[in-house]
């Protein structure tokens, strides 16, 4: 099967120097840092960004003292993730903040298109194009099958209570809460995920494995592609 793959964008990353400051706090060893700003931290209470930290690598990989890298956070905007992958991510998440697209508020395009199709104002092919923009399927026959499935479900909901365009407020939420049950697991959502670096390391160790569900492997691959090397060096040992 041919599916759209997730795309990740790094929105923000805290300096890895914060992790080194945390580590050196534990041992009061600021004077041993390779970085001048960290050596002076006890006086200035300020620190510059750094490109690498031998101390953090030693703590993480030699001593498994990973709590110090929890002070380092990376925030990603990720798009084209299917509902079934998000369910997996959220069920197993540790140290990850997640804010994802809500179907309660974001179903107008498919509902409005189906109403137009049901009223014969647009063709099935036009409705299919709207569905295709919202699902991870790339193959024509799968898009057609999914469109028929969604259309069939919406017909049932429309018989129970007529679907209406242009609703706002609580009426819109109530209608969307009903019809979102027609959405298949291939429905795409966008969202923002923030990992502390220890959580990202955990995510990498589990989700880059060949035993992991391939949809989550693809999320990791998208994240890895936009993550600077200095962070990757603290979650995977040695060059990949």
Identify the domain containing residue 61 by its residue range: 7-101+188-232
Phi, psi values for residue 217, rounded to 5°: -55, -40
**Tokens for 21?**
């400051």
With respect to residue 239, please indicate whether it lies within any of the assigned structural domains.
no
Which helix (H) or strand (E) segment is 11 a member of? Answer: strand 7-13
**pTM of this prediction?**
0.93
With respect to residue 2, please indicate whether it lies within any of the assigned structural domains.
no
Q: Among residues 143, 161, 182, which one ends one of the domains?
A: 182
With respect to residue 240, please indicate whether it lies within any of the assigned structural domains.
no
Q: Are residues 15 and 112 in the same domain?
A: no
With respect to residue 145, please indicate whether it lies within any of the assigned structural domains.
yes
With respect to residue 238, please indicate whether it lies within any of the assigned structural domains.
no
Total count of domains within the chain: 2
Q: Are residues 97 and 194 in the same domain?
A: yes
How many angstroms separate the CA atoms of 72 and 12, rounded? 11
How many angstroms separate the CA atoms of 48 and 101, rounded? 35
pLDDT tens for the chain, 240 residues long, are 789 999 999 999 999 999 999 999 999 999 999 999 999 999 999 999 999 999 999 999 999 999 999 999 999 999 999 999 998 888 878 889 999 999 889 889 999 999 999 999 999 999 999 999 999 999 999 999 999 999 999 999 999 999 999 999 999 999 999 999 999 999 999 999 999 999 999 999 998 888 888 999 999 999 999 999 999 999 998 654
How many angstroms separate the CA atoms of 206 and 89, rounded? 11
Q: Among residues 182, 199, 219, which one ends one of the domains?
A: 182
With respect to residue 122, please indicate whether it lies within any of the assigned structural domains.
yes
The b-or-e profile of 172-208 (16+ CB within 10 A means b, else e) is: beebbeebbebbbebbbbebebbbbbbbbbbbbeebb
With respect to residue 1, please indicate whether it lies within any of the assigned structural domains.
no
Q: Are residues 160 and 201 in the same domain?
A: no
């Amino acid at each position: 099967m041919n599916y759209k793959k997730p795309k990740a964008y790094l929105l923000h990353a805290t300096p890895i120097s914060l992790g080194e400051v945390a580590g050196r706090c534990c041992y009061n060893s600021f004077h041993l840092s390779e970085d001048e700003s960290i050596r002076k931290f006890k006086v200035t209470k300020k620190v510059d960004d750094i490109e690498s930290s031998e101390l953090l690598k030693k703590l993480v990989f030699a001593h498994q003292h990973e709590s110090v890298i929890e002070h380092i956070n990376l925030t990603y905007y990720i798009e084209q993730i299917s509902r079934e992958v998000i369910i997996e991510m959220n069920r197993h998440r540790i140290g990850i903040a997640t804010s994802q697209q809500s179907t309660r508020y974001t179903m107008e395009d498919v509902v409005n298109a189906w109403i137009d199709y049901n009223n014969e104002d647009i063709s099935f092919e036009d409705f299919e194009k709207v569905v295709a923009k919202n699902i991870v399927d790339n193959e024509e026959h799968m898009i057609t099958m999914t469109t028929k499935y969604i259309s069939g479900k919406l017909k049932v909901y429309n018989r129970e209570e007529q679907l209406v365009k242009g609703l706002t407020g609580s009426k819109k939420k109530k209608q969307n809460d009903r019809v979102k049950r027609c959405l298949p697991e291939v429905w795409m959502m966008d969202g923002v995920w923030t990992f502390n670096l220890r959580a990202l390391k955990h995510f990498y160790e589990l989700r880059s494995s060949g035993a992991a569900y391939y949809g989550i492997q693809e999320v990791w691959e998208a994240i890895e592609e936009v993550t600077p090397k200095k962070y990757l060096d603290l979650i995977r040992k040695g060059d990949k």
